Amino acid sequence: MSPREDFVAIFDSGVGGLTVFKEVMQKLPHENLLYFGDMARVPYGGRTPKTILRYAMECISFLMKRRLKCLIVACHTVSAHALEELKEKFDLPIIGVVEPMVQELETKKEIDRLLILGTRATIASNIYPRLILEKNPELKIFSLATPLFVPLVEEGMADHPATELIIKEYLRPLEKEKMGHVLLGCTHYPLMKEALAKVLGKEVKFLDAAPLVATKTYQLLASLNLLSKKKQPSYSFLVTDHREKFCSLASRFLGKSIALEDVEEVSLDS
Ligand code: DGL
């Protein structure tokens, strides 16, 4: 493997991966970051595995034309269905979101009841229960596909009263179950924490892959001796559509305003 220089790339189907971008920005403050959101085709979560793989291959083939140190697949749906194929195809260190979360859970022996939320494709893959139960067969796991959370977040409606009703409806089959921990199995879902806590109770604890992935990226770059010392790193954003919408959502996700000039609309055929 011959890692290229310059950017740490972060790929997601839309804006959700910005929750990972934010953590990476904090943990690796000297790195140039390049975000790619496939805004033209989000959401991926209702697509079949072969389409998810094709979309991810197309986006990453495009990204490979830039100078990359490593790639973070900041999408549980893609990590669940395509990570191994992506690692085989591209000559670059690739970090997904599933493995760091599974490793973290190995250390959290206090968890006895875990609710996993994700897109339809992530839940259908069964990747989390399979990998978690291998290490901790005693854990009681509940999995729920909650596909409407993605458009609600993309529309900036996480705190809308309709969202609370939708959460209650999704959780109806589990209403008698007490959940201690919720695994946010989609990078959009950290934006749903407050709304979820309203329904599940304040005591509920959330497991978010973003800080774990940032730490893993730091460790990877340190081990390859590729950490940057740049004083003023650059942050750029590529989208396949909806440049303005992305720009305003990104400013909200990152808690800092993003200039429209920093968001470039790209065509995957170019
Ligand atoms: N953010 C993506 C994930 O983590 C999914 C959103 C989508 O359905 O495209 O799974």
pLDDT of 5 > 70? The answer is no
Residue nearest to atom 2 of ligand 1 (CA): 75
The rounded Å distance from CA 207 to ligand 1 centre is: 16
Active-site amino acid positions: 75, 186
Structural tokens at position 105: 């859970």
The rounded Å distance from CA 232 to ligand 1 centre is: 30
The rounded Å distance from CA 38 to ligand 1 centre is: 11
Which residues lie below 8 Å from residue 72, measured CB to CB, with a gap of 6+?
Answer: 8, 9, 10, 11, 17, 20, 24, 94, 95, 96, 97, 213, 217
Ligand 1 atom showing the smallest separation from residue 147 Cα: 8
Residues with CB under 6 A from ligand 1: 12-14, 16, 42-45, 75-77, 119, 122, 150, 186-188
Tell me: the pLDDT tens digits for 215-236?
999 999 999 999 998 888 999 9
Ligand 1 atom showing the smallest separation from residue 188 Cα: 1
- In Å, how far are 151, 192, 249 from 157, measured between CA atoms? 8, 9, 11
Average pLDDT over residues 23-50: 97
Q: Are strands 235-239 and 32-37 parallel, antiparallel or unpaired?
A: parallel
Under the banding of pLDDT at 50, 70 and 90, the label for residue 154 is: confident
Burial of 114 per CB tally in 10 Å (0-12, 13-18, 19+): buried
